[in-house]
Amino acid sequence: MKSELNRQWILAKRPEGLFSEDHFTYQEAIIRPLQDEQFLVEVFYLSLDPTQRMWAQTDTYLPAVKIGDVMRSLGMGVVTKSRNPAFREGAIVQGMTGWQSHVITDGRGFSQVPDNSGLPLAAYMGPLGMTGITAYFGLLDIGRPSKGETLIVSAAAGAVGSIACQIGKIKGMNVVGLAGSDAKCNWLTKELGIDAAVNYRDANAWQQLQEACPEGVDVVFENVGGKMLDMALGLINVGARVALCGYISGYAKEQNPGSHNLPMLISKRASIQGFLVLDYVHKSRDAISDLGKWMMDGRVKYRMDIETGFKDLPVTINKLFSGENNGKLLMQINTPPE
């Protein structure tokens, strides 16, 4: 018998440094009856994303989560009760559920997930979801790659980075990844087939990176910022494009580690452009269609890191900042349907 209580994590105070349990309050709330046009979702996956650390702290491209509100996140679940004809009971849906086991919504911002594609539902929270769409448009639209060019990807073994690496290979690039362990580097070269991977924690990482890019770098897919960005900028060619996807090295710090090599953009007549996946939602079908095909024919591989301890959520999310996650980090809070 499933509980009718909604288990929730409420933002209690603005974080400094990494998240801890002090920043949140756990509560169990009664699930209220539905009104017309509303439906109830039993959430089974929550997406844990680096950007949530920013959402808890300050206004960004979305307003900061208010103190006292359920912590914001994407999630996926099943409709268990509905008074909205567009969302039938049993439908699998995705949207801003927040860190909670149930959500009542009128469907705004929610979409239905195909439950007959032959791919695991979790894939729609990773390579076929926001993660894959970010890598796809960030590389193709901002990076504008050409065959034979060299691409550097930071946080290359992560959720977004690993997809960006593989799209780079599909487009005929020489792909070099930066990652934080030998195991991650081996996965990138041996399993995903990229050309070289450098463990940035190695004392001679800079030398290894130079050797992996003998003809310089044309496209940088930047997830980390700081030292990673500086190393990549140190190797850019004339006309290089830097797609600034994320700056995770600064999210949990009072001050962002800056970049000292920005003047390289001048001498190399290169460009750096930030982008947001939100701006590509209207084109997401193109990305999902290509990524789905590439996954089916084995050209795009992925891994998911699915945690199950909902009570540990405020600490589990820190795996993204320590590098302990292996692939797209999810929190499973209910059993997904078969």
Ligand X SMILES: NC(=O)c1ccc[n+]([C@@H]2O[C@H](COP(=O)([O-])OP(=O)(O)OC[C@H]3O[C@@H](n4cnc5c(N)ncnc54)[C@H](OP(=O)(O)O)[C@@H]3O)[C@@H](O)[C@H]2O)c1
Residue numbers at the binding site for ligand X (CB under 6 A)? 49-51, 131, 134, 155, 157-161, 179-181, 184, 223-224, 228, 245-246, 248-249, 275-277, 320-321, 323, 325
How far is C-alpha 32 from the geometric centre of its chain's CA atoms?
Answer: 32
Tell me how far apart the alpha carbons of residues 166 and 179 are, in angstroms, rounded to a whole number: 15
Q: Which is nearer to ligand X, 77 or 226 (CB)?
A: 226
Contacts (Cβ under 8 Å, ≥6 apart) of 322:
none
Residue 70 token pair: 């359920």
| Secondary structure element (H or E) that encloses residue 328, with its range | strand 328-332
Contacts (Cβ under 8 Å, ≥6 apart) of 286:
none
Phi, psi of 315 (to 5 degrees): -100, -40
Nearest distance from C-beta of residue 233 to ligand X, angstroms: 15
Nearest distance from C-beta of residue 283 to ligand X, angstroms: 13
Q: Which is nearer to ligand X, 155 or 217 (CB)?
A: 155
Residue 142 token pair: 């901002």
Q: Which is nearer to ligand X, 48 or 333 (CB)?
A: 48
Nearest distance from C-beta of residue 134 to ligand X, angstroms: 4
Residue type, 76: M
Nearest distance from C-beta of residue 235 to ligand X, angstroms: 17
Residue 320 token pair: 């993204």
Q: Which is nearer to ligand X, 107 or 158 (CB)?
A: 158
Q: Which is nearer to ligand X, 81 or 303 (CB)?
A: 303
Nearest distance from C-beta of residue 200 to ligand X, angstroms: 6
